[in-house]
Structure 1
């Protein structure tokens, strides 16, 4: 099992315990349940290791507190829903065939505060909640810890390059947003340094200190991430994806994929694409 690193401390203010309930149903998908739950558990670890009380209490509940069986065949013991007058900060509805029925259940509908689609969206949502409650530093520390072992098969990282670069957002956040809107353009060092209002030498040094990457490598990773998204979510030909993401050729895209993901764009699409593969 991974050992939690020492996270940056949360702000030094006392806060009431935040109650979070995860609603499960027969044939619930376990990762929909345990992925977001682990985010809150790791946030508790981050705060308690800094010498303070854990900020979250959480439990798995079902409509009447019955035992249920997940889609994997694993049995779950659940608690009953809290009373309507009991304090509850957030209810997360896990994925599974019961989710539509839950959305139509008048007993539950008033409790539904947040919803998301899919395992990774649920984890991202939980990270957003932790950031709102405890601040960006804790949320990013949790995300960086989880990425050590939450990996999709074949090298598809659960958390994004953009998220890792957010560790430098206090200094380069505006630049990263500017880059992401212009990935199909020339993003050479002089252009980036000018946008950051620094000399090329100063920008290169400060950027590497803040992110651990050279500006060129950061741009390459953001382009690969955008290409990954288009490969998995669209049927756009790979040659067009390469140009849209700022690679000068399909071969350049291929080399970057092999270096960063150990897979070609064609292999990536075949494994993670939402539909049949298309010609390049």
Structure 2
């Protein structure tokens, strides 16, 4: 039996405990207790969540578990010296140490993410980069595994992290069965984006949405302002003005972001040569795509593919 310990602290976010369900339903799948779940805090006793509910916890003791998971909070909460010491001890004594959402800041403050790849909730990723320059923060990932340290993005990404652990421990078929019982997609890949270019744009009118849908379905085309305006049933001048007003971007910038999203997914999830990816996503040639990747991600396409293969 494997022990999964959740490290909690005052005002932690209850959503982080949604990951518990993946381990609970794995026990139900096997009809025996393959995972023992424990809830820990520095002093033990009752802890209030950010919503005011309470949960009983055990005080810190032996840091040797199969897995220690640090949950997140609505904002950034840094560990006490005792919590930092416990997390560092667990890294050496446990098989894996993980974090959900802003729990990554706990691991970062304890120093165990230095030189490692990590992720957190997208809205705080840049803050993490600024505070901890030694960490290779990848803000657009659902979860990341770097050796024995696992980190996930915010909110429901903790469920993806837990399902990935179940898959690692018991195989893909068990993880799929558990996902079905949870009525969730059999987990999102760790390399999947936290959000999409279309979600970032959020146009207010159907006409601009139609133009974006047209663009996404025709990335190999030139996608000039005239083409997009025709799809939106507007004149080019009206379209350009309306597009910027609704999305905050120029049509050209939005098209490049859609191409980048499609190209990155192809690099991560296929073995197509770079020239093919560039052609299929409308970049025309690999050098133009390489420059766009460097501007957007700080890495060339080959590095994105290598990182995905390491997941």
TM-score normalised over the length of structure 2: 0.47
Q: Is the 8 A contact 2:179 2:187 kept in 1?
A: no
Q: Is the 8 A contact 1:230 1:236 kept in 2?
A: yes
The structure 2 residue matched to 1:117, chosen from 163, 187, 207, is: 187
Larger strand proportion of the pair: 2
Distance apart, 1:214 and its partner CA = 0.4
Work out the number of aligned pairs and report it.
178
Distance apart, 1:119 and its partner CA = 5.5
TM-score normalised over the length of structure 1: 0.51
CA distance in 2, matches of 1:258, 1:174: 29
CA distance in 2, matches of 1:29, 1:117: 21
Q: Give the unaligned 5+ runs of structure 1.
A: 1-24, 31-36, 42-56, 76-91, 125-156, 276-280
Which stretch of the first structure deviates more once superposed, 193-202 or 93-102? 93-102
Give the equivalent residue in structure 2 for 1:177.
Answer: 213
Q: How does 1:263-274 map to 2 (within 5 A)?
A: 263-273=299-309
Change (3 A) 1:28 1:180: farther
Q: Is the 8 A contact 1:207 1:215 kept in 2?
A: yes
Q: Is the 8 A contact 1:162 1:222 kept in 2?
A: yes
Specify the SS of the correspondent of 2:20.
Answer: strand
Change (3 A) 1:202 1:236: same
Q: Is the 8 A contact 2:211 2:232 kept in 1?
A: yes
CA distance in 1, matches of 2:256, 2:179: 44
Specify the SS of the correspondent of 2:202.
Answer: helix
The structure 2 residue matched to 1:235, chosen from 271, 288, 294, is: 271
The structure 2 residue matched to 1:94, chosen from 163, 185, 200, is: 163
Q: Note the alpha carbon deviations across 1:53-110, whole angstroms, 9 max, x for none.
A: xxxx9583534664374252469xxxxxxxxxxxxxxxx6733245659949x9x799
Q: Note the alpha carbon deviations across 1:135-155, whole angstroms, 9 max, x for none.
A: xxxxxxxxxxxxxxxxxxxxx
Q: How does 1:167-246 map to 2 (within 5 A)?
A: 167-168=203-204, 170-246=206-282
1:60 to 2:130 alignment: no
Give the equivalent residue in structure 1 for 2:287.
Answer: 251
Specify the SS of the correspondent of 1:117.
Answer: coil
CA distance in 2, matches of 1:172, 1:39: 38
Q: Is the 8 A contact 1:186 1:246 kept in 2?
A: yes
CA distance in 2, matches of 1:239, 1:173: 30
Distance apart, 1:229 and its partner CA = 0.8
Change (3 A) 1:220 1:100: same
Change (3 A) 1:74 1:182: closer
CA distance in 1, matches of 2:186, 2:180: 16
CA distance in 1, matches of 2:205, 2:18: 30
Distance apart, 1:198 and its partner CA = 0.6
Distance apart, 1:171 and its partner CA = 4.7
Distance apart, 1:111 and its partner CA = 4.3
Q: Is the 8 A contact 1:230 1:241 kept in 2?
A: yes
Change (3 A) 1:39 1:179: farther
Specify the SS of the correspondent of 2:182.
Answer: coil
Change (3 A) 1:185 1:60: same
